[in-house]
Amino acid sequence: MNIAALAGGVGGAKFAHGLAQIIYPRIHTNNHELIREDSWRLADHSLTVVVNVGDDFDHLGLRICPDLDTVIYTLAGIANPETGWGTAGETWHAMDMLGRYGGETWFRLGDRDLGMHLFRTAALRQGRRLTDIVADACGRLGVAARVLPATDSPVPTIVETDQGALAFQEYFVHRRCEPAVRDVRFDRIESAQPTGEVIAALDAADLVVVCPSNPFVSIDPILALGDLRERLKRKPVVAVSPIIGGQAVKGPAAKMLRELGYEPSPLSVARHYADFLDMFVIDRVDAGQTLEIERAGIRVLVTDALMKSVEDRARLAHDVIQFAHQA
């Protein structure tokens, strides 16, 4: 069974790590008993994670791909467990000196993290494709899942706010998501195409999983590429709600939903994906929305959707895959 997951952000990376734990149990030896019992069933599964690149940007001469790096570091088991982004045991000597010179330090680049940005920037300047660069880095870090940038073309996410149009990281990190969002668009999206690898992975997928990521700035920039949204209509698709009890676990998803005129609820997310979504996974606190989501023709799994520990990720991934198998 080939699984293709769409991901962006910390929630997406955590859930992708849950999938990787159950699909590659020999590599992810931290999975709990439940997963080990099931592993024979998953032995011939494969996982491809298609990652948002709309938040990529050029900064201080370097090409920074925050969502890709969060997914890679998380799958490699070297992510910072507190922040969810960056690497564990990170040091900040470069930033400290940059700050001393009066440089811009609002986007925190750790010393270990800089190794990735230097590697990627140098390789891009040599004319290599982002897809191949990511494959190299993943290979070196022992990542078993295939990680694919959604596209090799820059498609920068622009957030239209009450304070004007803002580049995504300007909105997300520098302004801390404080401006009110009016619209989200993806620059140059019409001329960009998903890579051949992404199309092939989706075509080969027996199941597409939309991770608990921000619909507007993590998943939509993937779906807006070429005919990917149309392609998803021809596949069984299961999504995990990034909204639990009216809140986003992390990031501005709930605030964005409100500002764009929706209730911050799983139902709103399900409706956002309704044209291609077959199955939806929500938390127990949102069980009351089950009937209304099912009314849209979407099957619902109610489970514990909050991932506090590494084991939670695997358990939730297991529940989702089992649900999709049975569906």
Alpha-carbon distance of 283 to 241, in angstroms, equals 8
Q: What tokens were used for 236? A: 């069984």
Our finding on whether 122 is near a copy of itself (CB under 8 A) is: yes
Window 236-255: residues binding a copy of itself (CB under 8 A):
none
Tokens representing residue 304 in the block = 């514990």
| Shortest spacing between CB 127 and a copy of itself, in angstroms | 14
Task: Measure the CA–CA gap between 92 and 224, rounded to whole angstroms.
Answer: 36
Q: Which of 82, 101, 291, 297 contacts a copy of itself by CB under 8 A?
A: 101
* Binding of a copy of itself by 61 (CB under 8 A): yes
| E runs forming strands in the chain | 2-7, 46-51, 57-59, 62-64, 146-149, 157-161, 164-167, 181-186, 207-210, 237-240, 243-244, 247-248, 279-283, 299-303
- Shorter beta-carbon distance to a copy of itself: residue 43 or 118: 118
| 158 belongs to the binding site for a copy of itself (CB under 8 A) | no
| Among 111, 187, 206, 312, interactor with a copy of itself by CB under 8 A | 111
132 near a copy of itself, rule: CB under 8 A = no
The per-residue b/e assignment along 240-251, b for 16 or more CB within 10 angstroms, e otherwise, is: bbbbbeeebbbb
Candidates 29, 44, 100, 190: give the one binding a copy of itself (CB under 8 A): 100
Single-letter amino acid code for the residue at 135: A
Nearer to a copy of itself, 91 or 247 (CB): 91
- Paired with 185 in beta bridges are 158
Beta carbon of residue 60, minimum distance to a copy of itself (angstroms, whole number): 4
Min dist CB 178 to a copy of itself, Å, is 24
Counting contacts by CB under 8 A, is residue 98 touching a copy of itself? yes
Task: List phi, psi (to 5°) of 144.
Answer: -80, -40
Site residues, a copy of itself (CB under 8 A): 59-63, 87, 90-91, 93-104, 109-116, 118-119, 121-123, 125, 136-137, 140-141
